[in-house]
Amino acid sequence: MKCLICTLASGWYKKFAPIFEYTAKRANPGCDVKVFDKDVLFPDHPDNAVSVLRFCIPNKHFKGYDYIYFTDVDFVFLPHKTSLIDYFKRIVINTRQHYAGYRGPRKHKWKGRDRRMAGGAFMATQKWLALTDEHRKNVVRKCLNGLSYREKDEVYLQRITNDAGFLVPAEVGCFTNGERYNKTYRNLHLGDFKRGFRHRWENMGVMKRKWFLKNNVRKYLELLKDEKFSAIVTEARKEPEIDRIFSHVTEHLQKRGALV
């Protein structure tokens, strides 16, 4: 069973690609990994449409793969005893929906057609790709002028899946069979450390819980000892925005007592 871990990037985010590719392959050695270039696949779309367009990459790019795992380019993949990919494969098999995605947070504006499916952790099969093909092409046309707000990608993902006839999750944080997403499978999302998102780490309770610090932070600290990873990060940090993000990561770990 072949699996592709992939994403779409534009602008300076493309410089995250070596980090994404190296850590994804390191944590999931049996998978192929690819970062697609927005400017090649969707040259007429603005950069702020990338979050939606990653789910709309033409099916021809996925030939030969049984599973396709979509996520953000600014993820650092961490190793798990049962791999992240195998975890999501089990969800696909158990739910019989040909995809694995869980419902996003509940807020007053995320109701009805505006419900969200978490876009940072989504796996699909060839059947999902085939049945959603026209719906995804319609979305590509709709977002030609960009997105009105960032979370539109997750709203569109929910609509695409629902409109294609698949069952979608009814409960927040759950898959279609009611199973809750296992948060120990979190990777390190560097986007959480952008200037406008640092409050996630300062205020969100999950980021302060002992299991998160013991499990995810420990794994990241081990990754820092990897010479190749360190070299890749050093090169990426030549981009000022990426350097700022990693500075925030270090600041957070120091506050948590993980670094001295």
Most confident of 64-68, 192-196, 197-201, 216-220: 64-68
Q: Residue 195's pLDDT is what? A: 64
Q: Residue 115's pLDDT is what? A: 80
Q: Residue 27's pLDDT is what? A: 95
Are residues 226 and 163 located together in one domain of the fold? no
Rounded CA separation 28/5 (Å): 9
Are residues 7 and 24 located together in one domain of the fold? yes
Contacts of 35 (CB under 8 A, 6+ apart): 6, 7, 8, 9, 14, 16, 17, 20, 21, 73
Q: Are the C-beta atoms of residues 190 and 16 closer than 8 Å to each other?
A: yes
Q: Residue 196's pLDDT is what? A: 47
We report the CATH number of the domain holding residue 106 as 3.90.550.10
Are residues 173 and 97 located together in one domain of the fold? yes
Residue 64: is it exposed, middle or buried by C-beta count within 10 angstroms (0-12/13-18/19+)?
A: exposed
**Domain termination residue (choose one: 135, 151, 185):** 185
Are residues 40 and 164 located together in one domain of the fold? yes
Are residues 104 and 230 located together in one domain of the fold? no
Instruction: Reduce the DSSP state of residue 76 to 3 states and report it.
Output: strand
**Domain termination residue (choose one: 162, 185, 208):** 185
Q: Are the C-beta atoms of residues 28 and 118 closer than 8 Å to each other?
A: no
State the average pLDDT over residues 213-232: 88
Mean pLDDT score of the chain, rounded to an integer? Answer: 88
Bigger pLDDT: 217 or 222?
222
Q: Checking DSSP bridges between strand 3-9 and strand 67-70, what pairing results, if any?
A: parallel
Most confident of 12-21, 217-226, 248-257: 12-21
Q: Residue 157's pLDDT is what? A: 94
CA distances from 259 to 79, 101, 256 (A): 20, 34, 8
Rounded CA separation 151/200 (Å): 15
Are residues 120 and 11 located together in one domain of the fold? yes
Provide the domain limits for residue 158: 3-185
If one counts the domains in the chain, the total is 2
pLDDT band at 192 (very low <50, low <70, confident <90, very high): confident
Helix (H) or strand (E) holding 188: strand 188-189
Q: Residue 255's pLDDT is what? A: 74
Q: Which of 98, 103, 91 is nearest to 170 (CA)?
A: 103
Q: Which residue bears the tokens 């057609």?
A: 113
State the average pLDDT over residues 218-240: 94
Which of the residue ranges 94-103, 104-113, 189-198 would you say has the lowest mean pLDDT? 104-113
Are residues 170 and 243 located together in one domain of the fold? no
pLDDT band at 193 (very low <50, low <70, confident <90, very high): confident
Are residues 9 and 112 located together in one domain of the fold? yes
Are residues 27 and 153 located together in one domain of the fold? yes
Q: Residue 76's pLDDT is what? A: 96
Helix (H) or strand (E) holding 127: helix 126-142
Are residues 130 and 198 located together in one domain of the fold? no
User: How do residues 40-89 score in pLDDT, each as one tens digit?
Assistant: 999 999 999 999 999 999 999 999 999 999 999 999 999 988 899 999 99
Are residues 16 and 120 located together in one domain of the fold? yes
**Domain termination residue (choose one: 168, 185, 202):** 185
User: How do residues 134-163 score in pLDDT, each as one tens digit?
Assistant: 999 999 999 988 877 666 888 899 999 999
Q: What global pTM score does this model have? A: 0.91
Are residues 59 and 101 located together in one domain of the fold? yes
